A and B are shown apart, each in its own frame.
Chain A
Amino acid sequence: MTSGETTTAAGVSASMATSETRVEPRGAKPKSLSPARIGIYAFLIVAALFFLIPLYVMVVTSLKEMEEIRLGHLFNLPATWTLQPWVDAWLHACTGRDCFGLSPGFLNSVKITVPSVLISIGLASINGYALSFWRYRGANLLFGLLVFGAFVPYQVVVYPLIIALRDIGLFSTLIGIIAIHTIFGMPILTLLFRNFYAGLPIELFKAARVDGAGFWRVFFYIMVPMSVPITIVAVILQVTGIWNDFLFGIIFAGRPNWPMTVQLNNIVNTTQGTRLYNVNMAATILTAAVPLAIYFISGRWFVRGIAAGAVKG
């Protein structure tokens, strides 16, 4: 594959991620409301309700008391508002015998996500840079493998990795899970950065070479400052991807380092006795809060990020 062929799946997504497509529909907005337009809006509003109702149900249920939840009336607003479920979810909800709520899971997720994101993006940008400008034998084969690697289901390689990490003593450690996230972020991130750098004018690079700048100088003084947009996309992609990860967390992190998603699932699906739906829903919203916050803050950037990263995960 050459740099001209950016129509592969990853190429499509990377070009979606980096280039502006037409964002406005054709023509001016019609002023009057014809029956057809009412139909259009009706469809869109019904669709919007389908997407919004689960979130609404979660929020109102998390603010109700258990007696009220038992009555049914899923869609009603709380008769008596309470924030206690949120406090319980954060501090007191039980997984097995431990009742510390989700806060340890939150801290673990931060401890896993921050280093994984920084290391994987740092390495991937260097790799993408090397792949885009320094052509060497086998680069094409490597590129093909990267595309394939981005699609391989994680379950296929989980067992060999368990054995490998156990042999080097990193199984069930924080370093182990960070290494796993870094390695598995590598294919898609490298493709992302490679496609971005390959789209930059080659003259830029040549001029710097003529002026005597080496591989690393070109990278740090020219490439890194120009990579801000693609880095934002990569950060969004990695933070949401790693935060939302469940499989690697439950297998590789080890009980003391279990991320928030794993603890959430344990709190909800392994409780004995009465199910505290309000606490569970508060816990669920808390777990979704970080990626949702990123989503609403980053807006359009997010669409590009997930478009680039939908192959992951």
Chain B
Amino acid sequence: MIVVAVGVYVVGIAFTFYWSFTNSKIFPSFQLVGLAQYRRLWSSDRWLVAVNNIWFYGAMSIVSALVFGYLLAVFMDQRIRQEDLLRSIFLYPFAMSLIVTGLVWQWILDPNLGINETMHSLGWTSFHFSPLVDPDTAIYGLVVAAIWQGSGFTMAVLLSGLRGIDAEIWRAAKVDGIPTWRTYLFIALPMMRGAVATAFVFQAVGAVRVYDLIIAMTGGGPGISTNMPAVYVISMITSSQNAGQGMAAATMLLLPVIAIVGLFFFWQWWSERRETAR
């Protein structure tokens, strides 16, 4: 059974790769056309916008989720009251579907309904905040929703990393008179590389495959301004009925994941070798 499951992945990826060199439309074709699909892909505006977007969205959402998640983790680590309650609050969005997240934020940022309209009705009529209707700012709305959904998880991973650090380290830092914030930034953070790497990998892979959030929140719009590679792949397969093109895009989608996972394994292997060398 496990062989079947792994086989599905391997064979599936193999076919995706093969069909990316064919002129498949709605039905698969086995007629090879060389790199034509890739050439067409990289001259397609929609794809170029999607690639631009994923870099921006990926960088913004990963960095903000890590920074915000670590801040939350550090503040949660200050012997506070109601830690469990706060943890539940920070983490509950993660339990919900990205479709739900997307719809919620679509409403909050809706110019006629959300924050914008509320400020107007409170008398602040010059207030202007409706990122989703402007092609230039729509992606920021997506990033905010991604932070809302994902940083609680980053907090949980990083907090468990913080709590895994030996109490001796903290005492030593205190004796040496190092300010707490410096301890957190320059001593604790490097010591919990594993947790940071885990949080990073999960955020990065999540960003590459972002699909549901886009569909629910902007549908890729306004225009094509929030199109993403994963959305491009699916729309090529379904609405455009241009599977060969979709498969070329899907193969491109696989590259960053291989890079991220490969990097992670390499880093693991490297730090393990360094440990044993000591």
Contact = CB atoms under 8 A, between A and B. Distances in A.
A172 interface: no
Interface stretch (A80-88, A92-100, A217-225, A243-251): A243-251
Nearest to A42: B75
A217 B95 CA distance: 37
B48 interface: no
A160 B15 contact: yes
A172 to B, nearest CB: 13
A21 interface: yes
Contacts of B115: 74
Nearest to A21: B160
A155 B230 contact: yes
B8 A244 contact: no
A72 B118 contact: yes
B91 A12 contact: no
A125 B277 CA distance: 37
B77 interface: yes
A16 interface: yes
B99 A264 contact: yes
B19 A159 contact: yes
B201 interface: yes
A247 B235 CA distance: 12
A116 B28 CA distance: 29
A123 B6 CA distance: 13
Interface stretch (A196-204, A226-234, A285-293): A285-293
A164 B254 CA distance: 20
Interface string B200-244: 011001101101100110010000000000100110011000010
Interface stretch (B38-46, B56-64, B131-139, B148-156): B148-156
Contacts of A187: 5-6, 9
Given A151-B261, A303-B91, A156 B78 contact: no
A163 B11 CA distance: 12
Contact of B113 (A21, A74, A284): A74
A269 to B, nearest CB: 7
A124 B10 CA distance: 18
Interface string A141-181: 01001111101111111111111000000000000000000
A186 B265 CA distance: 21
Contact of B107 (A27, A131, A281, A296): A281
A159 B243 contact: yes
Contacts of B146: none
Interface-central residue, A23, A155, A162, A277, by most chain B CB under 10 Å: A155
B198 A12 contact: yes
Contacts of B272: 5, 7
Interface in B145-172: 148, 152-153, 156-157, 160, 163-164, 167, 170
Given A25-B77, A186-B2, A247-B212, A264 B103 contact: yes
Contacts of A183: 4-5, 8
A292 B96 CA distance: 7
A48 B13 CA distance: 42
B108 interface: yes
Contact of A159 (B75, B160, B250): B250
A149 B268 contact: no
Interface-central residue, B13, B28, B89, B264, by most chain A CB under 10 Å: B89
B100 A306 contact: no
A54 B105 contact: yes
Given A16-B160, A44-B75, A75-B118, A246 B96 contact: no
A108 interface: no
B276 interface: no
A58 interface: yes
A9 B198 contact: yes
A190 interface: yes
A302 interface: yes
Contacts of B49: none
A243 B87 CA distance: 23
A240 interface: yes
A26 B79 contact: yes
Contacts of B86: 44, 48
B187 to A, nearest CB: 14
Nearest to B167: A26
B257 interface: yes
A145 B6 contact: yes
Given A158-B250, A292-B92, 13 more contacts: A9-B201, A142-B6, A146-B2, A155-B230, A157-B9, A158-B237, A161-B12, A186-B2, A190-B2, A244-B98, A261-B99, A268-B216, A311-B205
5 contacts: A74-B108, A152-B254, A156-B13, A246-B98, A284-B100
Interface of A: 5, 7-9, 12-13, 16, 21-23, 25-30, 37, 40-41, 43-44, 47-48, 50-55, 57-58, 61, 69, 71-75, 123, 126-127, 130-131, 142, 145-149, 151-163, 183, 186-187, 190, 240, 243-247, 251, 261, 264-265, 268-269, 277, 280-281, 284, 287-288, 291-292, 294-296, 299, 302-303, 306-307, 310-311, 313
Interface of B: 1-6, 8-13, 15-16, 19, 27-28, 71-72, 75-81, 83-84, 86-100, 103-105, 107-108, 113-115, 117-118, 120-121, 148, 152-153, 156-157, 160, 163-164, 167, 170, 194-195, 197-198, 201-202, 205-206, 208-209, 211-212, 215-216, 219, 230, 233-234, 237-238, 243, 246-247, 250-251, 253-254, 257, 260-261, 264-265, 268, 272
